[in-house]
Amino acid sequence: MAKTLKKAADKTLIKRLYFYIQPFVGYIALAIALSLAVAYLGTVRPKLTQIAVDDYIAFDNFEGLYTVILLLFGALFGEFILLMVNTYLTRWFGQNALYSLRSAVFEKIQSLHVQYFDRSPIGRLITRTTSDVEALSELLSDGVVAIIGDLFRIFFILYFMFSMNWELSLVTIAILPVLFYATFWFKERVRVSFLKVRDQISHLNSFVQEHINGMKVVQLFNREQYQHEKFQKINQKHKEAHVETIFYFSIFWPLVEVFASFAMALIVWYGGGRALMGGVSFGVLLAFIQYARQFFQPIRGLSEKFNTLQSALASSERIFEVLDTEHQINTPDNPSVLKNPKGHISFKNVWFRYNDEGNWILQDICFEVLPGEHLAIVGATGAGKTTIINLILRFYEIQKGSICIDGIDIRELELSELRTLFGLVLQDHSLFTGTVYENISLGNPEISMAKVKKAAEDVEASRFIKKLPGEYEYVLQKQGSALSMGQKQLICFVRALVYNPLIMVLDEATSSVDSETEALVNIASKKAMKGRTTIAIAHRLSTIQDAHTILVMHKGQIREVGNHHELLEQENGIYRKLYELQYKDQSVQV
């Protein structure tokens, strides 16, 4: 029962995969036709040998021999050319299918809701887009065609053998069941031990990787010997896993050779006897000896391909799981349109949690930001500050309450329209690999270099950008960039300004920016906030003091609301305490 279900599931998988090779169906037909020709040309040669021996060599016919040799060569050359064309052809449509599949997976993942990314490790998502698709390469390219080709070959070999001598044919294939059994046995063992090997390799490599990264720590703490002993244990297991695999291989490969030769012995014995009776010619014997060797190749090939197909199906299952993931955040069917948006934000009794069982991350949040006003959110890590930003952008869906922009619930807006309203300056993950210009323009062709330069000069970011080699064409690396935290933030400010958003969303850096750029960041943030509705997760005193409203958050709730002076007057207020602890140094001088 389970097996038939599995088979049915495999069938649908194959059907869905077919979608990606469907555009090449004509080529596939051609490839199958070519396989047929190749199989014929490859298997006809022993038959031609038989003719050469029995009809010409036996009768001392030089000319006839010559003709057969030409035929043999013709068949060989034809097989060579067709096989080459066929291999490339199958690879070609395979690669094209993989291309579309890869693109589709990427597109799908990219379009999924943010929470999906929270739940799935990035590494897994990358695997889906790259190696899982890669695992399908054989299935989508030469896999199926090669299986058909192997079947053709088996068919032709059997055809030629039986047409020459059916008894001898039966004797030759008598060994098959044993071979099948051996292959099956081997496949099972090797699969298991290969999995072990793979685990051990990844163990070993990640140990090495990690200890190279952390070598200083190892040495500073005098742990060289201890860690080396740890490594030896891993290394030992790695070795053992390999040795186990070697054992199965050293049984299987000799065994296959033995079986193939065993078939040959049977041919010699039985065929020899037959030959004595005059029933079998020498040419036939010669042909059978060759067929016996040829016969095992496609069978072995089939079992190998079956294996790769199995793992390819497993990969495709994972891929379709991604492709089938439902979007949780959708643009409504008839979205409302913001005409002439002003930037009025309101949260009304907003409740949010990540899942139905979890703790409430935000509880009953209410606030309002009038167009052009600034809101500063302060609070400890985990208070829910960032969540508010995530909710405005509709990265997550709230459970209760409503969030409105200019009085329209954001769930009624088109997603891209909603998000266009905002300019973001966040702390992490804010830059892409690419030039400074690309990072600012974000690939939008409407944003010219001149526009970018103008904005950079406005916030004086041009000062440091001009010092970079290549200036605006300087390529930023995501990691190991030469830019400081503050400089990265400046670039984000320029980007936000270039887009001239209605609403600024700001997540200020916690750790101190190097002092030189600090001033620039300040100027930039002032510029960016000027005249715009702003929501800032604030750490800088000036941002907080200047805000029209300060929200003090604690454990998902708003505890205090007001402006700087109002909040300072609250005895035992959180804001006041925070101010004294965190900001008093900064205000000493005034």
Partner 1 sequence: MHLFINKYLTPYKWTIALGTLFLTAANFFLVWIPVLIRQTMDRVEQLNAEQSEVLSLFDTLFNSVQGSILATNALYLVLAVCGYGFFLFLTRQTLIVASRKVEYDLRNDVLHALFSLPSVFYAKYTEGEVYVRATEDINKVREYFGPVIMYSINTITRAGFVIAMMYIVNRDLMVWALLPLPLLSLFAYWITGYIHKHSIIIQEQYSKLADQAKETFTSIRLVKAYNKEESEQRKFDVLNEEYKEKKLRLDLIESLFHPGLNFLIGISLIIVIWKGGQMVIAEELSIGNIAEFLIYVAYLIWPVAALGYTTNRFQKSIASWQRIKVLFEAYHDLEQDKGSHTDDLKGNIEFRDVQFNYPDATVPTLEHLNIQIKAGTKVAIVGRTGSGKSTLVQLLPRLFEPTKGEIFLDGIPLKNYSKRSLRDSLGFVPQDNFLFSDTIEENIGFGIKGATMQDVEWAAGKAQVLDNILDFDKKFQTILGEKGITLSGGQKQRTAIARALIKKPKILILDDSLSAVDTKTEDAILKSLRNDEIKVTVIIISHRISTIKDADYIYYIEDGKVKEAGTHEELLSQKGSYKSMYDKQLIEQELQTI
Residue 62 interacts with partner 1 (CB under 8 A): yes or no: yes
CB of 170 to partner 1, least distance (A): 13
The three-state secondary structure class of 558 is strand
Listed residue (21, 20, 10) closest to 90, CA to CA:
21
Which CB, 180 or 226, lies closer to partner 1? 226
Print the binding letters for residues 279-318 with partner 1: x by CB under 8 A, - otherwise: ---xx-xx--xx--x-------------------------
With left for phi above 0 and alpha for psi between -120 and 50, is residue 556 left, alpha or beta? left
Residue 569 interacts with partner 1 (CB under 8 A): yes or no: no
Tokens representing 131 are 């190696």
Residue 1 interacts with partner 1 (CB under 8 A): yes or no: no
Residue 5 interacts with partner 1 (CB under 8 A): yes or no: no
Residue 60 interacts with partner 1 (CB under 8 A): yes or no: yes
Contact set for partner 1, span 132-161 (CB under 8 A): 134
Determine the number of helices (DSSP H) and then strands (DSSP E) in the chain. 25, 12
Q: Evaluate whether 303 touches 187 at the Cβ level (below 8 Å).
A: yes
> What backbone torsions phi and psi does residue 165 show, to the nearest 5 degrees?
-165, 115
- Selected binder of partner 1 within 19, 88, 180, 181 (CB under 8 A): 88
Residue 29 interacts with partner 1 (CB under 8 A): yes or no: no
CB of 49 to partner 1, least distance (A): 6
CB of 27 to partner 1, least distance (A): 14
For residue 210, CA distances in Å to 73, 220, 231, 478 come to 58, 16, 12, 20
d(CA 520, CA 538): 17
Contact set for partner 1, span 208-227 (CB under 8 A): 208-227
Which CB, 9 or 449, lies closer to partner 1? 449
For residue 219, CA distances in Å to 222, 228, 229 come to 5, 12, 15
Q: Which amino acid would we find at residue 165?
A: N
Tell me the three-class secondary structure of 408-471, residue by residue. EEHHHECHHHHHHCEEEECCCCCCCCEEHHHHHHCCCCCCCHHHHHHHHHHCCCHHHHCCCCCH
Contact set for partner 1, span 429-458 (CB under 8 A): 429-430, 432-433, 442-444
CB of 582 to partner 1, least distance (A): 6
DSSP string, 81-147: HHHHHHHHHHHHHHHHHHHHHHHHHHHHHHHS-HHHHHHS-HHHHHHHHTHHHHTTHHIIIIIHHHH
C-alpha angle with apex 461: 457 to 465, nearest 5 degrees? 105
- Selected binder of partner 1 within 9, 195, 243, 366 (CB under 8 A): 243
**Count of positions (residues) in the chain:** 590
CB of 212 to partner 1, least distance (A): 5
Contact set for partner 1, span 368-427 (CB under 8 A): 380-381, 390, 393, 395, 415-416, 419-420, 422, 424, 426
The three-state secondary structure class of 68 is helix
Contact set for partner 1, span 503-522 (CB under 8 A): 510-512, 514-516, 518-519, 522
Q: Given the structure tokens 């298991």, which residue do they identify?
A: 192
Residue 325 interacts with partner 1 (CB under 8 A): yes or no: no
For residue 40, CA distances in Å to 32, 49, 136, 154, 483 come to 12, 15, 28, 10, 65
CB of 3 to partner 1, least distance (A): 34
CB of 430 to partner 1, least distance (A): 6
Residue 45 interacts with partner 1 (CB under 8 A): yes or no: yes
Print the binding letters for residues 459-498 with partner 1: x by CB under 8 A, - otherwise: -------------------x-----x--------------
Tell me how many residues contact partner 1 (CB under 8 A).
156
CB of 379 to partner 1, least distance (A): 12
Which CB, 12 or 103, lies closer to partner 1? 103
Which CB, 363 or 484, lies closer to partner 1? 484
